[in-house]
Chain A
Amino acid sequence: MPTATYADRTVEVNDEGFFVDPAQWTEEMAPEIAEAEGISQLSEDHWRVIKLMRAEYAEKGSGPSVRALGKTSGVSVKELYQLFPKGPAKLAAKIAGIPKPRGCI
């Protein structure tokens, strides 16, 4: 299993860099993960989304899709793409230390 080091702690990640065990994540790690993904500063809106991702994961066992995020976070889908370019659901999940949201089939 690959590992990564954030905030001086070694954590287990999968091949795509998603946390294997969300319990290993701490808030201090988020800015470092974000930076590695090209987000240099986490704003209040970023944090709102990150906290929602973790809460949804704890409740449902999977992070929400972008569309669901747009409906529940109070941040529009367009803004979500500005906050987390390329793929808000995937990127926010990675920074929030939860597994990649289960793709719909």
Chain B
Amino acid sequence: MTTRIVILGGGTGGTIAANRLRRLLRAKEAEIVVVDQDDRHVYQPGLLFVPFGLADPEELCRSRRAQLHDGIELLDCGIDHVELDASSVRLSDGRDLAYDILVVASGAVLVPEETDGLTGAGWGDVVHTFYSLEGAAALATALERFRGGRLVVNVVDMPIKCPVAPLEFCFLADWYFREREIRDRVELTYVTPLDGAFTKPVASRALAGLLDEKGVRLVTEFNTGTVDGAGGRLVSYDDREIPFDLAVVVPIHGGAPFVGASPGLGDELGFVPVDERTLQSKVRPNVFAIGDAAGVPTSKAGSVTHFEGEVLVENIRRRLAGEPLDASFDGHANCFIETGFGKALLIDFNYDTEPLPGHFPAGVGLPLLRESRFNHLGKLMFQWIYWHSLLPGRAIPGLGSAMPEHGKRHVEAP
């Protein structure tokens, strides 16, 4: 009997894993099955641009099936739960799908219902999100109609996908209202539960500086308890209030619902605890997780997923061959941060090294932690790389899994 590898989720992580595994293992060695509930693969980094009319929602979507290499089966079906003891997946149509290796790649989902009032009065009217395709499109309309007032950008709680995106939203909003020549009538506020603009000290300082430069007020350690759309205010658990005319809220994230319904598989938030180096489940040796679905202490971001792919596939090969897992993920993340006016910042970091200034990937390259037109071009180019190089699981020249150390300048945090 051939080995069956079941991959739950056909997004960034699932597609990279499937394509890399298919190239590595011959058809008679392993059957590869991807399960997803729809055939719509969204280029999520593009969502940020939709509200400002800089990207068309339709153009961000492609068929999941079309991104998967020949010899990979895609089951268009929901997932009910995983039975770890039986090494089997119960699909939502009642079928059971047995596996030898399971890869959980089901990402993170938005759970706006977990925040009091968020989906109540004003949701979709004065309270929006750009973290879904539909939300981003609705926000584009709301921004177009916005003539001035208090615009509040709020992250309810961590972890979220792409933790820099809400900051980028602020930078782009500043640019957008300047272009429309109504910037003086708009009060921009960024409200975060963190104690700074970002978690890592050196980058946090640089990003707080940029917010200040662009006239965006920063409110920290604000833990949103209630979003009162009708009253136009955010209320924190410690009873602070932030009034708004338009709120852009990044809702709480959790793992896919089937993870919570699978005894032993996930943590209390629905993410799958795995060894942060090998990506193997802490409870079952034949279960792995990749991307946003994985509970590892680094950003939930496409770049992380991409870097994990190489390690995951090598460790699955080793598991199948009965060898010890020694491929090791270092927590590498690499993010372009759009800052408006055709410029962007680039940050590059891992579990142990915070984002530092310097150049990427070596002494000569893209400037790190500094605004530059080159980084903006890099961000635009990335959409092409995503569909044509990253998802097929091809190596991107100069961009290995491990974080490059050359070109980074170590500076003291304040």
Contact = CB atoms under 8 A, between A and B. Distances in A.
Contacts of B297: 102, 104-105
A68 B268 contact: yes
B238 A85 contact: yes
B223 interface: yes
A66 B159 CA distance: 12
B238 A105 contact: no
A39 interface: no
Given A81-B223, A105-B298, A86 B268 contact: no
A48 interface: no
A72 interface: yes
Contacts of B225: 77-78, 81
B269 A103 contact: no
A77 to B, nearest CB: 7
Contacts of B252: 67
Nearest to A69: B268
Given A68-B269, A104-B159, A81 B199 contact: no
Interface in A61-85: 64-68, 71-72, 77-78, 81, 85
Contacts of B158: 65, 103-105
Contact of B157 (A67, A72, A85, A105): A67
Given A67-B157, A68-B267, A105 B221 contact: no
Nearest to B163: A105
Given A71-B268, A78-B225, A104 B238 contact: no
B303 interface: no
B185 interface: no
Contacts of A86: 221, 238
Interface residues of B, number: 20
Interface string B285-321: 0000000000001110000000000000000000000
Contacts of B268: 64, 67-68, 71-72
A17 B158 CA distance: 23
A92 to B, nearest CB: 14
Interface in A88-105: 102-105
Interface residues of A, number: 17
A86 B195 CA distance: 11
A87 B269 contact: no
A104 B237 contact: no
Interface string B330-345: 0001000000000000
Given A67-B252, A103-B158, A81 B299 contact: no
B200 interface: yes
Contacts of A78: 225, 237
Contacts of B385: none
A81 B240 CA distance: 12
Contacts of B84: none
Interface in B206-250: 221, 223, 225, 237-238
Contacts of A72: 268
Contacts of B221: 86-87
Contacts of B75: none
A68 B163 CA distance: 19
A41 to B, nearest CB: 19
A77 B268 CA distance: 14
Q: Which of B163, B223, B298 has the most A CB atoms < 10 Å from its CB?
A: B223
A103 B200 CA distance: 9
Contacts of B60: none
B194 A103 contact: yes
Contacts of A68: 267-269
Contacts of B269: 67-68, 71
A100 to B, nearest CB: 10
Contact of A105 (B199, B223, B267): B199
B238 A81 contact: yes
A37 B101 CA distance: 49
Interface in B374-413: none
Given A65-B158, A105-B163, 14 more contacts: A64-B268, A66-B157, A67-B157, A67-B269, A77-B225, A78-B237, A81-B223, A81-B237, A85-B238, A87-B223, A104-B163, A105-B158, A105-B200, A105-B298
Interface of A: 64-68, 71-72, 77-78, 81, 85-87, 102-105
Interface of B: 157-159, 163, 194, 199-200, 221, 223, 225, 237-238, 252, 267-269, 297-299, 333
10 contacts: A64-B268, A65-B158, A67-B269, A81-B238, A103-B158, A104-B163, A105-B159, A105-B199, A105-B297, A105-B333
Q: Give the 7 A-B CB pairs with smallest separation, nearest first.
A: A104-B158, A81-B237, A104-B159, A71-B268, A68-B268, A105-B199, A103-B199
